[in-house]
Amino acid sequence: MATPRLLALYIQGMARFAIDVTACWRPMRVGMLTVAVELTRALVNANSGDEFVLICSRERPESMRDLDCEAVLSPHRHEVAVKARWMPSIEPLLEADAILYPYWPSPPFRRQGAPPAVNFVHDLAFRVRPAEVPWQQRIYFGAVLQPALRQSAAVVVPSEATRADLERLYPVPALAEKIHVIPEGLAPGAAPGPLPQGIEPGFILAVGSVEPRKNYPRLLDAYRRMRGRGVPPPLVIAGRSGWAYGDTLTKIKAERGVHYLGHVDEPTLAALYGSASVLAFPSLYEGFGLPLLEAMSHGVPAVIGSGGSLPELAGDAAILVDAEDPDAIAMGLDRLVDDDELRRRLGAEGIRRAKGYTWAGAAERTLEVLHRVARKTEAEAA
């Protein structure tokens, strides 16, 4: 039975939603974390009249301490303890019309009376390219994603490519009707800081964690091929050390003409985008591709892998190559580096396309999904 407060919200056409941000204590800038933080901030700041409550791990995340909404705190930090031990007991007590899970999936076992779940599925890398995903993620997602899909009232994906992967790999009854494609957005840009010491404008930029899926070994091979044909611009790599990075990171640091910066702060990243001539993003698989969108917003043309969601996001703002062919990567980069008019044209198209991707827009569409779920649940209970 609805409480007086929920009844008042219903009468006004508003609702109360919970958002699982238990993973957002992590300080590193990675794609899934960026999505969870920026989408949550945009939802709470949307002035929709809805109420929000954050489900947090131990404390409210630093990135959300300024948000004007409630928060409940888990006594646990570890994801398994949160999802297996604590969250099933707290979900029915939240008085929420729906719960959004923008990072990890909802708990595999949910109690009677738990609000309907809306799950965000970022990508299916652990199924599409399992050798390039840590075994812990393969085991975790392998155990929790299918139950989450079965019990979801709605599923949000960031691209049509991810929708297709989901429908192909998970023959869950009525799943297709549950899926909503809501692209990610651009966070407010930081003011550019100075370029790192020794870096001059005009370089080739690569952004992303050093891990197998980002395809750095083939990018290094491609860069060596470019160097064998002339004097290419320096290759600047900005990205933290991911998993299985040891040998690759050693090769990156030893490669002539390559500057490895590691993780950089937002002002430095803005300066890098503002001074790069080309983005090299031959990722083997992406569910969306935030570095590509960020580069597009700065007018930086890109060479991208032709698989996954990247062609969908780029449109005519990038050169597509076979990401498993170093020579194709090298030829794509050579083509952009040598053709000023092509860079200008692709850069202008990137700026135009990037304007359509905002977190405010993503929040508006996510709220529509949440309200649809709330109305359907209310009608079924009547």
Task: Report the pLDDT value the prediction gives residue 1, as an integer from 0 to 100.
Answer: 45
- Quick check: do 4-185+358-381 and 204-354 share a fold? yes
Three-state secondary-structure class, residue 27: coil
Task: Report the pLDDT value the prediction gives residue 267, as an integer from 0 to 100.
Answer: 95
| Cβ atoms within 10 Å, residue 303 | 29
Q: 38 near 56, Cβ under 8 Å?
A: no
* Nearest CA-CA partner of 90 in 150, 178, 35, 20: 20
For residue 305, give both structure tokens.
């892998």
Cα 328 to Cα 349: distance, rounded to the nearest angstrom? 23
- Amino acid in position 213: R
Outline where 276-320 has alpha helix (H). Answer: 290-297, 310-314
Going along the chain, which residue ranges are E strands? Answer: 16-20, 51-57, 70-74, 98-101, 117-120, 152-157, 179-181, 204-207, 235-238, 258-262, 278-281, 302-305, 318-321
**pLDDT beneath 70: ranges in the chain:** 1-13, 28-29, 244, 382
Residues 6+ apart with CB under 8 A from 307: 284, 285, 323
Task: Report the pLDDT value the prediction gives residue 245, as an integer from 0 to 100.
Answer: 74
Neighbouring C-alpha atoms within 13 Å toward the C-beta of 296: 28
Beta-bridge mates of residue 157: 181
What phi and psi, each to the nearest 5 degrees, are found at residue 154? -155, 155
Strands 152-157 and 117-120, bridge-based pairing: parallel
Task: Report the pLDDT value the prediction gives residue 67, as an integer from 0 to 100.
Answer: 95
CATH topology for the 204-354 domain: Rossmann fold (3.40.50)
Q: 315 near 266, Cβ under 8 Å?
A: no
What phi and psi, each to the nearest 5 degrees, are found at residue 229? -105, -5
Task: Report the pLDDT value the prediction gives residue 10, as an integer from 0 to 100.
Answer: 55
Task: Report the pLDDT value the prediction gives residue 31, as an integer from 0 to 100.
Answer: 78
- Amino acid in position 152: S
4-185+358-381 sits in which CATH class? Answer: alpha beta
Q: 122 near 32, Cβ under 8 Å?
A: yes
Digit-coded pLDDT (tens) for 119-161: 999 999 999 999 888 888 899 999 999 999 999 999 999 999 9
What is the DSSP annotation of 104-145?
A: SPPPSS--TTPPPEEEE----HHHHSGGGS-HHHHHHHHHHH
Task: Output the CA–CA distances (angstroms, integers) from residue 369 to 91, 179, 373, 374, in the order listed.
Answer: 19, 10, 6, 9
**Domain coordinates of the chain in residue numbers?**
4-185+358-381, 204-354
Residues 6+ apart with CB under 8 A from 320: 304, 305, 306, 310, 311, 314, 332
Cα 301 to Cα 288: distance, rounded to the nearest angstrom? 17
Beta-bridge mates of residue 210: 241
Cα 229 to Cα 51: distance, rounded to the nearest angstrom? 60
